[in-house]
Structure 1
Amino acid sequence: MSIAGAPIARIVVGVDGSEASVEALRQAQRMAMPLGAKVQALACWEYPQMYSGYVMMGVEGFEEGARKVLDDAVEQAFGGETPANVTSTLVRSHPREALIDASREADMVVVGRRGHGGFGGLLLGSVSSAIVAHAHCPVLVVHTPETEPGGPKGS
């Protein structure tokens, strides 16, 4: 598989701990394996904005919390055995900016979209919309897997 004749060597996946981002990670790995591509699971964190010069109390642990979300998502996606071609990166940035920046060096970006059902379920979220509009490479938006009692929808 290639994009415009160029092989896919690096797939960046936005990870936020949601079911949709875990599924995006799984789908990226499924595409990467036959291509011999690398998968980069990318999660972001930021300090909350400070207002009017006031310093907020109890605002620590954001980086550690984001690292745990990233590690947990990778474990959920692959169990105890992370594939050798999968790396994890934690970035201090807003997800939109970090993923758009990462798209400059990527062959594809994969992001999850959380379904909300009904009319709202037809809409993309703000991060996925921004990536689709501004990425420097192709983007795959993966939906949260729908399940019903007894198995996946439609089974």
Structure 2
Amino acid sequence: MAAAGNGAAVPASERRPRIIVGVDGSEASIAALRVARALAEPLSAPVEAWACWDVPSGYGVYLAVGIEGFKYAADQVLQRALSDAFEELPAFVHPRLVRGKPSPVLIDASRNASMLIVGRRGHGNFVPGSVSTACVSHAHCPVLVVHAPEEAAAGDVAAPRSAVVP
């Protein structure tokens, strides 16, 4: 149970759903944003589109140059992904830049989310220890891993894959 404004506990069944989407600009994360919208609309749930940024190892070198470029680059990726996913940004989708490595940041965020949605193949590719693997293994809420739409064969239009959860 969560505490209400007056100190009383609010049962989980009465809390407003909240969906967090990990965004890295990949086709899979853009598809994840679209899936989040489809799930959030009927629930009147807010969607938070999280783009994580951090300073690469060897941080000392970057002190002289500055770290704002990393945050700016992540913001550009986030804005581009949102514009690729939606013609017009829905009012219930809120972009968020968060400093930190994606896996631990998203896992920690999952403590206060109803669902976490991530793409299967981000820009880091799908390797053991990837963001989607870590989130599925350690998140505190349900995790939906979204595949990118399959690439179109010569001249064909690819249809996104979908799944129905009972």
TM range (shorter): 0.7 to 0.9
Q: Which runs of 5+ in 1 are unaligned?
A: none
Q: Do the aligned partners of residues 130 and 8 (structure 1) sit closer, same or farther apart at CA in structure 2, a change above 3 Å counting?
A: farther
Shift of 1:69: 0.4
How far apart, in 2, do the equivalents of 1:75 and 1:8 lie?
26
TM-score, with structure 2 as normaliser: 0.77
**Secondary structure at the residue paired with 1:152?**
coil
In 1, Cα distance between the equivalents of 2:20 and 2:132?
13
- 2:135 counterpart (106, 131, 136): 131
Superposed CA RMSD in Å reads: 2.5
When the two structures are superposed, what TM-score results if normalisation uses the length of structure 1? 0.82
Question: CA 1:28/1:153 → structure 2, altered by over 3 Å: closer, same or farther?
Answer: closer
Query: What aligned pairs does 1:4-153 form with structure 2 within 5 A after superposition?
Result: 6=13, 9-50=17-58, 55-56=61-62, 58=65, 60=67, 61-79=69-87, 81-114=88-121, 126-148=130-152, 149-152=155-158
| Distance in 1 (alpha carbons) for counterparts of 2:131 and 2:112 | 19
Aligned residues: 142
SS state at 1:29 partner: helix
Q: Alpha-carbon deviation of 1:147?
A: 2.8
CA contact (8 A) 1:12 1:39 kept: yes
- C-alpha distance in structure 1 between counterparts of 2:81 and 2:128, whole Å: 21
Question: What 5-or-longer segments of structure 2 have no aligned partner?
Answer: 1-11, 161-166
Which deviations, in whole Å up to 9, do the C-alpha atoms of 1:70-107 show, x marking residues without a partner?
0110111112x100110011000000011001100000
Structure with the largest fraction of strand: 1
1:48 Cα deviation (Å)?
Answer: 1.1
Closer, same or farther in 2 for the Cα pair 1:124/1:76, shift >3 Å? farther
The ranges of structure 1 where at least 4 consecutive aligned residues each deviate by more than 6 angstroms after the TM superposition are none
Describe the shift of the 1:64–1:108 C-alpha distance in structure 2 as closer, same or farther (beyond 3 A).
Answer: same
